[in-house]
Amino acid sequence: MSASLVVLGSSGAVQTAHRDNAALAFRMGESSVLVDCPGSPFLKLRKAGLDPMLLRAIVITHAHPDHIYGLPSLVHHLWMLARQEPLPLFAPELDKLRGLLDVFDLRSRAGFLEMHPLTAGASSPTGDTASPFWEHAGHRLSALPSDHGPPAFAIRWDTPLGARVVYSSDTRPVEAMVSFGREAALFVHEATFLEAEALRAAEGGHSTAAQAARLAALARARRLLLVHLDYRADAAQCVEEARGEFAGPVEVPDDGAIYAVE
């Protein structure tokens, strides 16, 4: 079963002409898991060659508008196409998502949607392993609390062949990401600001490119992807700053970028 990471969006809370709000898809063969749900998720999945009807799960890292406002549209599309297969959704602050769906009377229509609280499982003493909150065909998803203000989580995807992808959207630097993301093939971390605005980043619950890179280096990750950029950010500057802390490949992915996970 082939696996890949699809970057559906890479911007922070304010979109640009070329970057939608941050969201990812974990492709697992023909099916996938959607992580965060802004914009037009159904359209973006289709453009990436993913069948939205084959979604295995939806994961919401936190309930800020730029991470959830596309959920009613996605659920409505799936309902219109008569989805019957259960679709688990994992998220903190489920009451906010229920309220959002109830605006359009979607929970009463979309009987396929199963809503579960997203919580962090128990970790091993080293932190390298954590109890998964979702498993399918050897793929496992685990969560780690991040530091953003409202309840928020980083997500780890471990594949049946032993590859690892970690993703932390809105967060201040969290030391536990080092063990959580140990030797990740792809270390995907927010980099809303540059180091010159470190104080602003801390006040807003965000990270700089250099801070993300330091975590990736300590985790011995193979590749660093910087996402959730401020709308005024210069991607080249973010990469340059990160390269001062991380020796491996660093990039700011374009929306629609696909990375094989091996």
User: Across residues 94-117, what is the average pLDDT?
Assistant: 97
Residue 90 β-bridge partners: 59, 116
Q: Give residue-wise pLDDT tens across range 159-193.
A: 999 999 999 989 999 999 999 999 999 999 999 99
The CATH number of the domain where 197 resides is what?
3.60.15.10
Position 35 pLDDT exceeds 70: yes
Q: How large is the average pLDDT for residues 123-128?
A: 52
**Domain of 132, in residue numbers:** 3-260
Q: What is the pLDDT of residues 206-260, one digit of tens each?
A: 999 999 999 999 999 999 999 999 999 999 999 999 999 999 999 999 999 999 9
Q: Which one-letter amino acid corresponds to residue 56?
A: R
Alpha-carbon distance of 2 to 23, in angstroms, equals 20
Which of the four pLDDT bands, split at 50, 70 and 90, describes residue 122?
Answer: low
Q: How many domains does the chain have?
A: 1
Evaluate if residue 123 carries a pLDDT over 80. no
**Residue 130: band (very low, low, confident or very high) from pLDDT cuts 50, 70, 90:** confident
Cα–Cα dist 90/157, whole Å? 14
Residue 126 has pLDDT above 80, yes or no: no
User: With bands split at pLDDT 50, 70 and 90, how would you rate the model's confidence at 129?
Assistant: low
Q: Which residue has the tokens 């453009």?
A: 47
Mean pLDDT score of the chain: 95
Q: What is the pLDDT of residue 91?
A: 98
pLDDT band at 125 (very low <50, low <70, confident <90, very high): very low
Residue 124 has pLDDT above 80, yes or no: no
pLDDT at 194: 97
**β-pair partners for 259:** 5
Helix (H, G, I), strand (E, B) or coil at 151: coil
pLDDT of residue 227: 98
42: its two tokens: 């159904």
